[in-house]
Amino acid sequence: MAPAARQENGASVDMTINPVVGAIRPSKTMVLSDLATSLRESGVDVISLAAGEPDFDTPEPVAEAGIQAIRSGNTHYSPNTGTSTLRKAIQRKLQSENGLEYGADEIVLSNGAKQSIWQSLLATCSPGDEVLIPAPYWVSYPEMARLAGASPVFIDCPADQGYVLTAQQLREALNPRSRLLILCTPSNPTGAVYSLERLKELAEVVAEHPRLLVLSDEIYEHIIYRPAQHHSFAALPGMWPRTLTVNGFSKAFAMTGWRLGYLAAPKAFAKAAAAIQGQMTSGPSSIAQQAGVAALDLGPAGGPLVADFVKSFRQRRDYVVKRLRSIPGLKLPEPEGAFYALPDMSQFFGHAVTADDFGSIPDIDTLCRFLLEKGNVAVVPGDAFGAPNCLRISYATSLDKLEGAMDRIEEALTGKALHRQQAMAASAAS
């Protein structure tokens, strides 16, 4: 039988999209990563510093556990909230590493920390509620809030205060509609780490508002550079009942493709998230969960294998910071964790900035396109993260690639093709 012919004329079909979905903005991280991949596949020598993905392979003991899961027939549906074996392992991890006590029914495993964050927002927020998001922020937080029917409220946390929220800023932003505060430490996209003192100050403000909950995104907790230290918000006095802690295996254990994350929260919130998951995806991969058990068996904070990853990330951080700070006009606070740098690029775009064979560079989006087209380096514009003067660089790649990328960025920004004298003069005059 011949295949049915396509009807290109859709006049008789209602193509209306749900307006909530239609208003979702695409993730610029994914757009830039996909574009860089497409250019490489077409033969262009592009170095991508866009995606937040470790370049390491999953540790061998973890990968082997996944292989053994397949060989032993552990390939069937998982319980909706995850296997009891992995949930108990996470219980032990949270108790020993984070000082947090959770029951097995207060942990929900899902297909990545991203899903856990989305389910947390949907479980806790109602139409008309506000979600407080310190800026710079991870690109998906605002869109998730909107999908949940809530309104994102951004609180600007500039570089001169370390990209972290102050207690006074939080107090000024709160009102009866405030439902959820999102904290990400270590931070994507800044690499900032909240000190224990700062978290305690924020907790004092949170305690003054009975409706206010906190979503603590701790996916980068093990990727941290001494003397900075990670502290779980739920471990602070009085914060356990109002905190939803999200974590996962993708970053520290180089398990991005395994899609495994979790939510730890008071029973009411965990139960609501589990109900959402039961109607959406059901439980995560049984194979990935067996690998997750092996990951936690590597030892506290991932043991020596993850420590080696972190050592490499620190070397890359140091190299990238040194190279970027050597470019005149570029400003960059030193990241304390994760694997991102968020330099201020305001000296390199504006009405007075042009480039030969390219044209004007009025904003950060155009500057990133200039770096891609003329420098063959893919980075993400900071406006996607609530930082329109910045761009985000992921240094989760080899030192050789970082050296090549930094050479290209430096040449593009300081070479004769880029004309920014007027912009520099205007800045100096101000």
Give residue 2's pLDDT: 56
Give residue 393's pLDDT: 96
Give residue 40's pLDDT: 76
Residue with tokens 């560079």: 361
The tens-digit pLDDT sequence of the chain (430 residues) is 555 555 566 567 888 888 878 887 776 666 766 777 777 788 888 999 988 899 999 999 999 999 999 999 999 999 999 999 999 999 999 999 999 999 999 999 999 999 999 999 999 999 999 999 999 999 999 999 999 999 999 999 999 999 999 999 999 999 999 999 999 999 999 999 999 999 999 999 999 999 999 999 999 999 999 999 999 999 999 999 999 999 999 999 999 999 999 999 999 999 999 999 999 999 999 999 999 999 999 999 999 999 999 999 999 999 999 999 999 999 999 999 999 999 999 999 998 999 999 999 999 999 999 999 899 999 999 998 999 999 999 999 999 999 999 999 999 999 988 997 644 444 444 4
- Residue 77, judged by CB atoms within 10 A of its CB (0-12, 13-18, 19+), counts as exposed
* Helices 113-124, 267-280: crossing angle, 10 deg rounding: 110
Q: How many CA atoms lie within 13 A of 372 on its CB side?
A: 25
What is the C-alpha to C-alpha distance for residues 242 and 147, in angstroms, rounded to an integer? 22
Take residue 15 and report the two structure tokens written for it: 């193509």
Give residue 11's pLDDT: 62
pLDDT tens for 56-113 read: 999 999 999 999 999 999 999 999 999 999 999 999 999 999 999 999 999 999 999 9
CATH code assigned to 60-298 = 3.40.640.10
Give residue 428's pLDDT: 44
* Helices 286-296, 84-98: crossing angle, 10 deg rounding: 30
- Which backbone phi and psi does 125 adopt, to 5 degrees? -105, 145
CB 386 within 8 A of CB 137: yes
Residue with tokens 């991870």: 138
Q: What is the pTM of this model?
A: 0.92
Take residue 9 and report the two structure tokens written for it: 């004329």
Q: How many CB atoms lie within 10 A of CB 317?
A: 24
Take residue 324 and report the two structure tokens written for it: 């970027």
Class of domain 20-51+304-429: alpha beta
Torsion of CA 247, 249, 251, 254, to 10 degrees: 180
What is the C-alpha to C-alpha distance for residues 387 and 331, in angstroms, rounded to an integer? 13
* Among the listed residues 75, 78, 65, the one whose alpha carbon sits nearest the alpha carbon of residue 253: 65
Give residue 1's pLDDT: 54
Residue with tokens 């995560």: 284
CB 374 within 8 A of CB 417: yes
Give residue 421's pLDDT: 60
| Shared fold status for 20-51+304-429 and 60-298 | no
CB 351 within 8 A of CB 378: no
What is the C-alpha to C-alpha distance for residues 185 and 193, in angstroms, rounded to an integer? 5
SS3 429: helix
* Among the listed residues 273, 275, 282, 262, the one whose alpha carbon sits nearest the alpha carbon of residue 217: 262
Secondary structure letter of residue 57 according to DSSP: P
What residues does each domain of the chain span?
20-51+304-429, 60-298
Q: Which H or E run includes 71?
A: helix 60-71
Burial 145-180 (b: 16+ CB within 10 A, else e): bbbbebbbbbbebebeebbbbbbebbeebbeeebbb
Give residue 427's pLDDT: 47
